[in-house]
Amino acid sequence: MSILKADSLHFAYDLDKGNHKVLEDFSLDIESGEFLAVIGPSGCGKSTLLRLLSGFIRPGSGKISLNGSEVLRPERAGQMIFQDFNQLFPWLTVEQNILFPRYRSFFSLGKKAVDPPDRMRVDEILELTGLTGFRKYRPHQLSGGLKQRTALARALFADPQILFLDEPFGSLDAPSRVELQNLLLRVWKEKKRTVLFVTHDISEALFLADRLLVFESRSGRFKVHSNSLSRPRDRHSGPFRERKLELYSLIDPD
């Protein structure tokens, strides 16, 4: 069943009173529980599309619907995770950052009471994301990978239907990136959330996603491809390498 739908979207940036077209007549249906990756050359509109679908910006024309209702602003049913490691509140601990979506007034007023069910949920999410031993740490004490784990944990505590991820692992070293890719897959399987994942890494997209939305160039041409590779996926297998080369051949870097 479709959870998020884009109908005939048009979007352009006005730069110096000029018109820079990003999307034209863009339509897409995203199924509940689906993992969709968005790939393409730099500047093709991947992040812009994610911000449109999540309600952070509005299309020039067309309509975006979440569960049948038009998206006019960011919805509580969706949570965004950015590439920037500084998306956490530096004065709060890992645990407090996770609690913040529901308890923001508590922290501003210096209160500490947390409902027992929410405390149990935080404990569960800390364990799921491998952060139990870091709950009292502040962001400046964390590596980039641990900061992104905390951002994911905070998004999960908000109990969204959809996770929007904008190149969340792009600035990490290779071992941390692989570790967090595996964590995201585990979260997706256990929590059964819909995931929209923007990346510049074709291998990452192919490893993670059910379908891949491929922007073939900066002109806005796109096509959705299914990913028939069985799970768990072996990045070093012949079929994986062949599919990766096929996807590379579709993208025009110019």
Q: Which domain holds residue 181?
A: 1-77+161-254
Which of 143, 159, 175 corresponds to the end of one domain? 159
Using alpha carbons, list the distances in angstroms from residue 111 to 103, 107, 114, 158.
Answer: 9, 6, 9, 20
Using alpha carbons, list the distances in angstroms from residue 104 to 95, 100, 111, 138.
Answer: 12, 5, 10, 17
Describe the crossing of helices 144-157 and 174-191 by its angle, rounded to 10 degrees: 10
Res 105: pLDDT? 64
Determine the Cα–Cα distance for residues 214 and 41; give it in Å rounded to an integer: 9
Residues 63, 166, single domain; the answer is yes
pTM over 0.85: yes
Residues 201, 233, single domain; the answer is yes
Determine the Cα–Cα distance for residues 99 and 189; give it in Å rounded to an integer: 23
Decide if 236 contacts 225 (C-beta within 8 A). Answer: no
Phi and psi at 154, nearest 5°, equal -65, -40
Instruction: Give the strand pairing for 35-39 and 211-215.
Output: parallel
- Residue (of 245, 187, 241, 237) closest to 35 by Cα position: 187
Q: How far apart are the first and last CA of the chain?
A: 36
Q: Residue 213 in 3-state DSSP?
A: strand
Res 79: pLDDT? 93
Residues 191, 73, single domain; the answer is yes
Residues of the chain with pLDDT under 70: 15-18, 105-112, 218-219, 253-254
Decide if 222 contacts 237 (C-beta within 8 A). Answer: no
Res 70: pLDDT? 94
Res 110: pLDDT? 57
Q: Residue 45 in 3-state DSSP?
A: coil
Residues 140, 239, single domain; the answer is no
Determine the Cα–Cα distance for residues 78 and 164; give it in Å rounded to an integer: 7
Residue 199, class by beta-carbon neighbours within 10 Å (0-12 exposed, 13-18 middle, 19+ buried)? Answer: buried
Which of 159, 183, 202 corresponds to the end of one domain? 159
- Structural domains in the chain (count): 2
Res 244: pLDDT? 95
Q: What is the CATH number of the domain that holds 179?
A: 3.40.50.300
The model's pLDDT over 85-129, given as tens digits with 9 standing for 90+, comes to: 889 999 999 999 999 878 776 665 455 678 888 889 999 999 999
Determine the Cα–Cα distance for residues 41 and 45; give it in Å rounded to an integer: 9
